[in-house]
Amino acid sequence: MDSLFLSIVKQNKGMGSISLFKDEKEIYQFSFGFADLKNRIKPSPNTKYRIGSVTKMFTATVIMQLIAEGKLSLQTTLYPYYPELPNAKQITIGQLLKHRSGLTDRKFQAWQANGKDFKLSKKAEYANANYGLLSVIAEKTEKTGFGEILATRIFEPCNLKNTYYGNGADSIRDEATSYFYASGWQAIDPGDLSFAAGAGAIVSTPTDLNTFLFHLFSGKLLPPSSLAHMKAIQDGYGSGMMQVHYYDQVAFSHAGQIDGFQSRATFFAADNFAVSYCFNGVAMPLDKVLIAALGIYYKK
């Protein structure tokens, strides 16, 4: 496994960290490349990465907790929380969770920019807006910020010491700088995470992501019926997760991409096995990294 990632670094194909868990214990961790190329700082197990849309797993978990507590329901509409949005009475929390709301990012952004009305799509379509709106619903339900909700409901109970929400790049110790490759690694200026909200504003590590996965799939965060609903796939989407297949193995997973960072968190329930990785520099398809790592682990 080490040689795989050292080869990726040598060929300037990627920099980052990976973690493998089996039966709730970390069995492998490796960090490679540079967290900060300018200052020649190597990444460590505590180096933090923006995880992008992997955040949606956390947001869906919060919403399902609120539903389990009777504070919301899958049939609750968007209207009480975001009445100004066109079609808010037609959009339910259940639809937002599984990208079946009919809302698209393009339509939502056009409405934000110029107030342009729109019709809802009739097909399932992945949209960050769905999860941004879910975090607004959580905030208005709990009457506090989404970062505090995540900390209270997930980060602290799971003991995720290297996981944060919505911080600026200069306010988190050991956060990696992101890069793109063009005749050498070029630094990317970090964007403001506040716009990503519940769709992509978490900063974490592969080890913390695996810890979260084991808490979630072992039933420590949700009752069985709520977890079952998250895992139920409709038109390719569960709630904050999708299915991926590796030979005869089936896993629940989510990938993320933001400001040059790319991440993936994946859980194989049948084997009680998880693999998560976070890259701050990528010049190859990361699905190939997952397939290669799984090939080594499963001896395929």
Domain ranges (residues) in the chain: 2-298
**Would you say 141 and 72 are in contact if contact means Cβ atoms under 8 Å apart?**
yes
- Percent residues over pLDDT 90 in the chain: 91
Q: How many CB atoms lie within 10 A of CB 70?
A: 7
pLDDT band at 168 (very low <50, low <70, confident <90, very high): low
* Per-residue model confidence (pLDDT) at position 111: 94
178 DSSP 8-state letter: P
* Per-residue model confidence (pLDDT) at position 172: 56
Q: What is the pTM of this model?
A: 0.96
CA–CA distance, 21 with 2 (Å, rounded to integer): 16
CA–CA distance, 280 with 50 (Å, rounded to integer): 8
Average pLDDT, the chain: 95
* Per-residue model confidence (pLDDT) at position 185: 96
Handedness of CA 170, 142, 225, 23 (dihedral sign): positive
Pairing of strands 25-32, 14-22: antiparallel
Terminal CA-CA length for the chain: 13
* Per-residue model confidence (pLDDT) at position 174: 85
Question: Which CATH number describes the domain made up of 2-298?
Answer: 3.40.710.10
